[in-house]
Amino acid sequence: MESRTYLPPVRVSVRCGLQAPRRALSELLGQLGNLDLDVEEAGTVELIVAEALNNICEHAYSGQENAGPIDIECVHGPGGLNLKIEDEGASMPDGRTPIGLQADVDVEFADLPEGGFGWFLIKDLAKDVEYRREGQRNQLRLRVAVALPAAA
């Protein structure tokens, strides 16, 4: 029987601000370094988490003078990386994530949409995307399928 070695749970906490997504991503990817993710896997994790963090800072904490915390927990297991991202900002409209339709990019450069790609990318690249509001906290859970490390 083959045994696998999984990374211990990773936790990252930052206060929302201009550099929060960058700091959180740097710390998260640093702690995931032992997984030896290939360039594509690391890029996928980075893109998904960056989009989620940017949405939190731009929308959940929008207009708040003292933006609050963002907490990320990552558990590595047989299905890949299970991420939980929490914040204390405003809840999602209607209590659920946006549909995340693919934006039409077959237009003139000046007519390209300014936003709208984030939720499409998150839902396209991640698995099992779930949002819920628990008390005063938003909770986004998702899974990123990455290759398992070789048996120890």
Residue 119 clears pLDDT 90, i.e. is over it: no
In a domain, 152, yes or no: no
In a domain, 75, yes or no: yes
Residue 100: φ, ψ to 5°: 75, 55
pLDDT of 58-89, one tens digit each? Answer: 889 987 777 899 999 999 988 899 999 999 99
In a domain, 77, yes or no: yes
Residue 52 clears pLDDT 70, i.e. is over it: yes
The string of DSSP letters for 98-139 reads: ---PPP---S-GGGS-SS--HHHHHHHH-EEEEEEEETTEEE
In a domain, 39, yes or no: yes
Instruction: Indicate if the alpha-carbon torsion angle 5, 29, 55, 58 is positive or negative.
Output: positive
In a domain, 3, yes or no: no
In a domain, 4, yes or no: no
| Contact yes or no for 84/30 (Cβ under 8 A) | no
Confidence of residue 99 (pLDDT cuts 50, 70, 90): low
Q: What is the structure's pLDDT at 103?
A: 53
In a domain, 140, yes or no: yes
In a domain, 151, yes or no: no
Radius of gyration, alpha carbons of the chain: 16
Q: What is the structure's pLDDT at 140?
A: 97
Domain range for residue 34?
10-144
Q: What is the structure's pLDDT at 102?
A: 54
Residue 152 clears pLDDT 70, i.e. is over it: no
pLDDT of 102-115, one tens digit each? Answer: 555 454 545 444 54
Could you tell me the CATH number of the domain that includes residue 91?
3.30.565.10
Query: What is the share, in percent, of the chain residues with pLDDT greater than 70?
Result: 80
Exposure string over 16-37, b if 16+ CB within 10 A, otherwise e:
beeebbeebbebbbebbeebeb
Looking at 1-149, list the stretches that DSSP marks H as alpha helix, in order from N- to C-terminal side.
Answer: 20-31, 39-55, 118-125
Q: What is the structure's pLDDT at 1?
A: 46
Q: What is the structure's pLDDT at 31?
A: 93
Average pLDDT of span 26-38: 91
Average pLDDT of span 38-49: 94
What is the tally of structural domains in the chain? 1
